[in-house]
Amino acid sequence: MAKKDLALLTLQSLVYLPVLILLPKSTVIVLAITVVSGLFYVRSRPELKPLTLWIMLLLIGALSAAWSITPEQSLERAGKFALFLILLGGLMHVVGRWTDGDRRYLADLGLKAWWIALAIMLPLIIFESDLKAALMSANPNQTMKDFIVSWKPIPNTAVILLVVTAFPALGHALSVGRAKFHVLISVIGLLVAALASGSSSALLGLVTGLCVWFFYVRSARVTAKILTVALPLALLTMPALVYPLAKNPETIARSIPNFPNSFIHRLLIWDFTLDRIAERPLLGWGLDTSRAIPGGKELRPIHYVVPWSDKPITHPDQNLPLHPHNAVLQIWLELGLLGIVFTMIAVWRLLKTQLVSRGGGPMAAFIVCSMAIYCVAHGLMQSWWLALLFLAWAMARAAEPTETQPITDR
């Protein structure tokens, strides 16, 4: 392979991971580099036909400006979503033209970069307090000390980044005959990182992904069928699924040891969101209107459970800051039943086209992990998160075993 082509191929890998854990919000830049270098590498023009369902969802978002409470914001967000769909279309075109040798090279690089990133992350998380103490003692400037106190060497978003990319990386490690001991140590290290960082979202994604991977290995066909039905139905029934949680957050917090206080507020946000969904269930309030929902900025008392007292402490916070912290509820809130139906069809199509072989366990784990995190942490169209999902999907495709048996054979 010519040096130019090798360089272009390398730019399409996740060799950037050690940098991304320090700057996780730069995934958009990495995605753009990946797509541009990939198009130069494959030397052909992409088509957007595979994105028809997502384009329909985009059109619904744009049309929602007609009834949106913030029409300009809805149109602006639809425009940004269109740019991401263009990037996704380019990425899908590039991935579809990788050779077996390309995929092996990209997966090898991604795995090595993932291990390096984990090796960098673990000590920075575990010894964060010691590092801060050393920096504060060495720096007499009070302004700098104040900065060090609030500084996190490894943000929680970086832990989520490694969790989402873990399944394609470790799936490749197993497919090329790496010792299972190495994979087990990697999973334990990632689990330690998730626990030490306090990122309950990362922990949820890791555990759900591992469970799905386990069941997929045991029975690929049954697991794929269950996911293909259950995940779209979960989108439709999400308001009913979270209702019991949203209406009893304090009771839940008292009954579950070490229940994260951040989730108490999240459950109250869901409670407020459910009430607003009920007001406009069919078409929603308009794309990207979460910040402008009536009553969202109003404060409500939140009772946080603390270990040193039988009585909770009370602190006021907004009903709906930024977004509902549940992408499915956000679709319900902003685009209503119409948006949910198209999203269900798109997710069903995604599962039908991606879970097609016995070696699809890492892909299934990645999809479920991403959806689990999406339902407790991020906004619907956070740029860095969408870019991460696209990049991790490409890595999962690169890591798929070259020789796979159809899932129907099992």
Contact (Cβ atoms closer than 8 angstroms) between residue 36 and residue 28: no
pLDDT confidence of residue 205: 96
What confidence tier does 409 reach under pLDDT thresholds 50, 70, 90?
Answer: very low
**How many whole angstroms separate alpha carbon 254 and alpha carbon 310?**
10
Maximum Cα–Cα distance across the chain: 69
Per-residue DSSP letter, 312: P
Q: Which residues pair with 303 in a beta bridge?
A: 314
**How many whole angstroms separate alpha carbon 184 and alpha carbon 170?**
9
Nearest-Å Rg of the Cα atoms of the chain is 22
Per-residue DSSP letter, 76: H
* Closest to 397 measured CA to CA, from 164, 160, 117, 106: 106
For residue 7, count other CB atoms closer than 10 A to its CB: 12
Cα angle 386-390-395, degrees, rounded to a multiple of 5: 145
pLDDT confidence of residue 310: 63
pLDDT in tens, 169-222: 999 999 887 778 889 999 999 999 999 988 889 999 999 999 999 999 999 999
Instruction: Provide the percentage of residues in the chain whose pLDDT is more than 70.
Output: 94
DSSP string across 242-285 = HHHHHT-HHHHHHHSTT--HHHHHHHHHHHHHHHHHHHSTTT-S
Contact (Cβ atoms closer than 8 angstroms) between residue 235 and residue 344: yes
**How many whole angstroms separate alpha carbon 220 and alpha carbon 214?**
10
Residue 82 has pLDDT above 90, yes or no: yes
For residue 141, count other CB atoms closer than 10 A to its CB: 10
* Closest to 221 measured CA to CA, from 400, 410, 353, 401: 410
**How many whole angstroms separate alpha carbon 263 and alpha carbon 279?**
25
**How many whole angstroms separate alpha carbon 318 and alpha carbon 392?**
33
pTM: 0.92
| Look-up of token digits 């469970």 | 211
For residue 93, the one-letter residue type is H
Q: Does residue 401 come out as left (phi exceeding 0), alpha (psi in the -120 to 50 range) or beta?
A: beta
What confidence tier does 405 reach under pLDDT thresholds 50, 70, 90?
Answer: low
Contact (Cβ atoms closer than 8 angstroms) between residue 368 and residue 163: no
pLDDT confidence of residue 35: 96
pLDDT in tens, 339-348: 999 999 999 9
**How many whole angstroms separate alpha carbon 177 and alpha carbon 180?**
8
What confidence tier does 38 reach under pLDDT thresholds 50, 70, 90?
Answer: very high
**How many whole angstroms separate alpha carbon 407 and alpha carbon 175?**
17
Residue 267 has pLDDT above 90, yes or no: no
Cα angle 81-87-91, degrees, rounded to a multiple of 5: 140
* Closest to 330 measured CA to CA, from 266, 263, 250, 251: 266
pLDDT in tens, 359-376: 899 999 999 999 999 999
Element (H, E) at 362: helix 361-374
In whole angstroms, what separates CA 52 from the centre of its chain? 22
pLDDT confidence of residue 266: 87
The tokens for 368 are 């479920």
